């Protein structure tokens, strides 16, 4: 409920009955800020004068002053995602409208059409833009397929070889679905599928196979190997795009469920389980790319004393504060998690040890300067950090153990400091 209250929706609908029902339903169900326009003229003026952009438009195809889809032309020209809600509809119309890149098409006069539209709006706003990694060694086919997907407002990353596709995946780009021809220049589609599963495990992105071969067993083998779907060429464009969108929607829903399962119940950042599941894959990617990586363990100094003095409720406030400040600094580029109690960990993605050390110093100094207000009293904290460099494949536990040893040294040296091999070498040099 109310999960889209920060978004604005433009409703272009001349029917007072439908407009009233939709505006009320969207505002009550999703908390949306809905602006209603009953004509093309009003919609054009609203789009020209709106200080803030719209996240989505719901529109009728035919309006009194726009009987030939002029409102849709306007919205697509403004590059705003659109859902069509109209009575003037048949299979031919649907295919034509979908080919223009609208998010969805809902027929007014079908049973439960208003609830279906409200659900479609939720999907469109929750899922955001779909990105497809398209892999095909036939450059003409690659160009044509990319064009079909882009017409549907789907973002496309192109690769003509399997190794190039794996490089994109290793780089950590946000990919929702992989669509690959089964006969690539450097590897079979099934080999690419296996490589993706080896790299990503249970969280592997869905892979759709494409082939113009007539052997029906090829599709069965691809699906049995873990493929999400299989499409044989030639195909209907609407069916192909529909299958891609469906796979992307399922992936986004699974990612949303994984985020819930991966979150620490108190602080909202990643939990220990997610850190141990995702960390080894991130290390493997960094080592394969030849990028620097290291792991840090951060511990709040004298946290037990703080709990004993102020109580566990204040301790929880401190933990949330530390997590929030660290999240703001770390962002999405590196992996941050709460390991348990007052311990947090960061796995750095693509930083040299000196860069990671400087990063940890910024976190330490920032937390020491920050004020925590609890029960009308200002508290300050300090943290100790152990940082270990990762240079070769080992067990993930070994990396954490090394960081924990440096954390112990930081505590033993007086707390409120970052300790690493680099710090030791610098100390010896001085």
CA distances from 139 to 29, 182, 210, 375, 389 (A): 46, 14, 14, 65, 42
What's the average model confidence in pLDDT over 396-411? Answer: 94
Average pLDDT for residues 298-315, to the nearest whole number? 92
Residue 327 has pLDDT above 50, yes or no: yes
For the ranges 46-50, 157-161, 171-175, the lowest mean pLDDT is seen at 171-175
Residue 78 is predicted with a pLDDT of: 83
The arithmetic mean of pLDDT across residues 353-371, rounded, is: 92
**pLDDT tens per residue, range 91-148:** 566 667 766 777 788 888 777 889 889 888 887 786 666 889 999 999 999 999 998 8
What stretch of H or E contains 343? strand 343-349
C-alpha–C-alpha distance, residues 337 and 325, integer Å? 13
Q: What is the pLDDT of residues 34-89, one digit of tens each?
A: 999 999 999 999 988 876 778 899 999 889 998 888 999 898 888 788 899 888 66
- State the Cα angle at 319 between 349 and 368, rounded to 5°: 75
Residues 233-263: pLDDT tens digits? Answer: 888 888 888 889 888 888 877 877 777 788 8
Residue 98 has a pLDDT of 66
| Mean pLDDT calculated for residue range 286-310 | 91
DSSP letter for 328, please.
Answer: H
Q: How confident is the model at residue 1 (pLDDT cuts 50, 70, 90)?
A: very low
| Higher local confidence (pLDDT), 179 or 329 | 179
Higher-confidence position of 331 and 419: 419
Give the pLDDT mean for 305-317.
90
pLDDT category at 292 given cuts 50, 70, 90 is: confident
DSSP 79: T
- Alpha-carbon Rg for the chain in angstroms: 26
d(Cα 14, Cα 38) in Å, to the nearest integer?
Answer: 4
Mean pLDDT (the chain) is: 87
What pLDDT is stored for residue 250 in this prediction?
84
| Whole-number percent of the chain with pLDDT over 90 | 46
């Amino acid at each position: 409920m109310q999960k889209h209250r920060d978004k604005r929706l433009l409703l272009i609908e001349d029917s007072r009955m439908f407009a009233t029902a939709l505006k009320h339903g969207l505002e009550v169900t999703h908390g949306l800020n809905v602006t209603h326009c009953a004509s093309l003229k009003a919609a054009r003026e609203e789009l020209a004068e709106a200080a803030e952009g719209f996240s989505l438009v719901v529109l009728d195809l035919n309006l009194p002053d726009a009987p030939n889809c002029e409102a849709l032309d306007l919205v697509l020209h403004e590059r705003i995602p659109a859902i069509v809600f109209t009575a003037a509809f048949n299979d031919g119309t649907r295919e034509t409208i979908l080919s223009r890149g609208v998010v969805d098409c809902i027929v007014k006069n079908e049973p439960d059409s208003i609830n279906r539209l409200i659900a479609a709006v939720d999907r469109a706003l929750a899922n955001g833009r779909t990105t497809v990694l398209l892999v095909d060694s036939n450059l003409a086919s690659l160009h044509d397929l990319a064009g079909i997907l882009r017409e549907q407002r789907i973002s496309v990353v192109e690769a003509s070889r399997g190794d190039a596709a794996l490089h994109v995946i290793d780089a950590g780009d946000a990919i929702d679905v992989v669509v690959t021809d089964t006969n690539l220049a450097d590897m079979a589609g099934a080999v690419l599928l296996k490589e993706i599963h080896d790299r990503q495990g249970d969280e592997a992105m869905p892979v759709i196979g494409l082939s113009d071969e007539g052997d029906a067993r090829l599709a069965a083998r691809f699906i049995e190997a873990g493929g999400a779907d299989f499409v044989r060429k030639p195909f209907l464009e609407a069916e192909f795009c529909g299958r891609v969108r469906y796979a992307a929607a399922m992936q986004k829903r699974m990612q949303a469920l994984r985020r819930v399962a991966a979150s620490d119940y108190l602080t909202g950042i990643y939990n220990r389980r997610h850190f141990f599941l995702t960390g080894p894959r991130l290390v493997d990617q960094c080592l394969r790319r030849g990028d620097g990586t290291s792991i840090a363990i951060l511990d709040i100094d004298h946290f037990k004393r703080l709990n004993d003095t102020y109580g566990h409720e204040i301790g929880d406030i401190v933990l949330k504060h530390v997590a929030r400040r660290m999240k703001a600094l770390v962002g999405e580029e590196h992996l941050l998690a709460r390991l348990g109690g007052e311990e947090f960990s960061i796995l750095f993605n693509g930083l040299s040890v000196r860069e990671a050390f400087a990063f940890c110093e910024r976190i330490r100094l920032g937390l020491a300067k920050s004020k925590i207000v609890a029960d009308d009293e200002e508290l300050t904290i300090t943290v100790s950090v152990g940082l270990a460099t990762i240079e070769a494949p080992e067990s993930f536990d070994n990396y954490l153990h090394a960081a924990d040893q440096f954390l112990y040294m930081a505590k033993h040296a007086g707390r409120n400091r970052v300790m690493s091999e680099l710090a030791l070498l610098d100390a010896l040099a001085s």
